[in-house]
Structure 1
Amino acid sequence: MQCHHFDAWRCRSCTLLEQPYPAQLTGKQRHCADLLAPLAPGLRWLDPVTSFEAGFRNKAKMVVTGTVDDPVLGILDEAGGVDLTDCPLYPAALQHAFGPLAELVTRARLVPYDVRARRGELKYVLVTLSPDGELMARFVLRSTESVPRLRKHLPALLDALPRLRVVSANIHPEHKAVVEGETEILLTDTETLRMTVNGIDLHLRPQSFFQTNTDVAAALYRQGRDWVDDAAPSTVWDLYCGVGGFALHVASGDRDVVGVETSVEAIASARLSAHDAGRDRTTFRAGDATAFALAQPPAAAPDLVVVNPPRRGIGETLSTWLEESDVRHVVYSSCNATSLARDLALMPSLHAREARVLDMFPHTAHYEVAVLLERA
């Protein structure tokens, strides 16, 4: 992939861009295999899942700089802001949305936040694209002061972007290195963006997490479903379930599935998706995954557990619980092979049988890896 921003040193986020894509993939496979080799000598590696090299991102996190009359959507640099509205990682439908969104910034007088001076209102514009070409836009604001103006000019934005379904204002008053705050104000009647993946409608609310690369996420869910179907469990827990991607893919008429996630918004999304899909034996609970597991009596342990934790991994407590439980299979989806290896070392009775690298993040050192564990 060629990128004029990278070549001009305006943005170097794609740290592996100068490597041919096959070499990137080989390096990720080798890195993961080297980490897991001491823990799983008989591990069978499936062919890696590749990504499109460009246009694969379904979401954009655009820092807003410049002025209210000339806003810049992109990233921060030492001189101010870099316009990345034509970043080749974004598909055309996302790129086309940035112009009308910037026009709304001017029309509604949403003053860009000045990080150095700690003045201004608008910090980020966050945009998500569904597989059907529908959009969700979130305006991260310092306060509610400009929300009435945002509401006033919203009809013009909806006219300019007829496929825009969900718009919200996120209130983030603090000056710190996190993207969003806790308060979300919906500005549209529609509350969720429908992400159709492998024929399953996943409802995405504004504060719900979804994988950045829809095509690779679909492959990840298919892989998890295949492993679960082969194991044929009667009961499944999906811990760190997010909006229910794994849980809804592995659900079937004779299988009880429970999803657990700390995000209340994600659980609301998952419950709506389960209702629409008629998954009556799939339930979702808001709470900490480790606390949930530890609170269950030993007899309640399921046949199979799916875990899809953040980069820190599942940690010692949950790894130990799994090691000491009667769980027969674990499907572990990881975005950090280092924490994965650390967790696997704590579960020696659960042998890694198959693994697959999925290139969720081309041109960077990051990747997803899924592993099937089976009790010896």
Structure 2
Amino acid sequence: MQCHHYDAARCRSCTWIELPYADQLAAKQERCRELVDPFGPVDWLPAVASAEQGFRNKAKMAVGGTVDAPTLGILDPGGVGVDLRDCPLYPASLQAALPVLAEFVTLARLVPYDVPTRRGELKYVLVTESPDGELMVRFVLRSSEALPRLRKHLPWLLAALPRAVVVSANLLPEHKAVLEGEQEVVLTERATLRMRINDVDLHLRPQSFFQTNTAVAAALYRIGREWVDAAGPRSVWDLYCGVGGFALHVARPGRAVVGIETSTEAVASAEQSRDDLGLADVRFAAGDATAFALGAAAAPDLVVVNPPRRGIGPALAGWLEESGVRDVVYSSCNAASLARDLAAMPSLRPRRGRLLDMFPQTGHYEVVVALSRD
């Protein structure tokens, strides 16, 4: 991938961009093999490659500049805005929305937040695009001061950018390095963005997490479904379930599926998708995955885990080791923490593995392994 921002040293986020894509894939596969194979033997299936550019479904744009000339992109080390509206990681359809949003910033007088002086209102513009081309747009503000202007000019935005079906304001009053605050104000009639993934419609609320690469996420859920069906469980837990991607893909008549996620917004999204699909045997609940497992009266036949980078940790790994659970499907974005967890549950051996390149041009990836008990 060629990027003029990288060449000009304006943005160096794509740390592997100078490495040919085939070499990127090979290096990621080798890293996963190195860390996981000692717990095997593992049958490694061919890697799932991604498009090298235009694959991101979400733009996280820090706002800089001035209200009359805003920048959407990143901030340099001095807090000055660097405009990246034409970043090649975004598809053309997502890029096309960004000038309209910049114009709206000026129209609604959303003063960009200046990090060095801690003045201004608008910190970020977050845009997510669905496979159908619909958009969720979120304005991350320091306070509610700009809300009346957002509401006043919202009709203009919806007319200029009719694909924006969900628009919200997120309030982040603290001066700290986080992307969003706890309070969300939805400004449109619709509150969820529909993501058509394989044969499942997932609903995203503004504070729900979804993988940044739609095509590779779809492949991940297909793999999970295939591996779960091959194991033939009557009961499944999907821990760290997010908006229910795995749980809803593996649901079958007569198969009891439970999804657990800390985010109440994600759980509400998953429940809406479940209800739309009419899946009577699927249940979601908000809570801590480890606490749920440790407090359960009985273990299921199979557990799917999709934890953050830190992994599932010793408590949950220890529970899985002692639980008698027959099969585990473990989706990881960090093979180092996956290896630590595998070491804590030696009775559950990785039988199959597959790398999915969720994040081309960087050293990040997703790897999924199927574990079964000796």
TM over 0.5: yes
Residue 81 of structure 2 aligns to a residue whose secondary structure is strand
Residue 39 of structure 2 aligns to a residue whose secondary structure is coil
5+ residue gaps, structure 2, are none
Q: Which residue of structure 2 lines up, in the alignment, with residue 271 of structure 1?
A: 271
CA distance in structure 1 between the aligned counterparts of 2:225 and 2:167, rounded to whole angstroms: 33
Q: How does 1:47-126 map to 2 (within 5 A)?
A: 47-79=46-78, 80-126=80-126
Q: How does 1:192-341 map to 2 (within 5 A)?
A: 192-297=192-297, 300-341=298-339
Residue 14 of structure 1 aligns to a residue whose secondary structure is coil
CA distance in structure 2 between the aligned counterparts of 1:322 and 1:7, rounded to whole angstroms: 48
Q: Which residue of structure 1 lines up, in the alignment, with residue 171 of structure 2?
A: 171
5+ residue gaps, structure 1, are none
CA distance in structure 1 between the aligned counterparts of 2:37 and 2:221, rounded to whole angstroms: 24
- Are 2:158 and 1:139 aligned? no
Percent identity over the alignment is: 70
CA distance in structure 1 between the aligned counterparts of 2:228 and 2:36, rounded to whole angstroms: 22
CA displacement, residues 80-115 of structure 1 (integer Å, 9 cap, x when unaligned) = 111100000000111011011111111111000000
Q: How does 1:1-16 map to 2 (within 5 A)?
A: 1-16=1-16
Q: Which moved more, 1:127-136 or 1:29-38?
A: 29-38
CA distance in structure 2 between the aligned counterparts of 1:182 and 1:264, rounded to whole angstroms: 12
CA distance in structure 1 between the aligned counterparts of 2:125 and 2:199, rounded to whole angstroms: 29
Matching residue's letter, 1:70: A
Give the superposition deviation at 1:78.
Answer: 3.0
Which 4+ residue blocks in structure 1 deviate beyond 4 angstroms? none
Give the superposition deviation at 1:52.
Answer: 0.2
Residue 38 of structure 1 aligns to a residue whose secondary structure is helix
CA displacement, residues 249-280 of structure 1 (integer Å, 9 cap, x when unaligned) = 00011100000000000000000000001111
Q: Which residue of structure 2 lines up, in the alignment, with residue 342 of structure 1?
A: 340
Q: Which residue of structure 2 lines up, in the alignment, with residue 32 of structure 1?
A: 32
Q: Which residue of structure 1 lines up, in the alignment, with residue 181 of structure 2?
A: 181
CA distance in structure 1 between the aligned counterparts of 2:364 and 2:345, rounded to whole angstroms: 24
CA distance in structure 2 between the aligned counterparts of 1:160 and 1:332, rounded to whole angstroms: 43
Aligned pair count reads: 373
CA displacement, residues 192-235 of structure 1 (integer Å, 9 cap, x when unaligned) = 00000002100000000000000000000000000000000000
RMSD, aligned CA: 0.6
Residue 224 of structure 1 aligns to a residue whose secondary structure is helix
Normalised by the size of structure 2, how large is the TM-score?
A: 0.99
Matching residue's letter, 2:58: K
CA distance in structure 2 between the aligned counterparts of 1:368 and 1:254, rounded to whole angstroms: 30
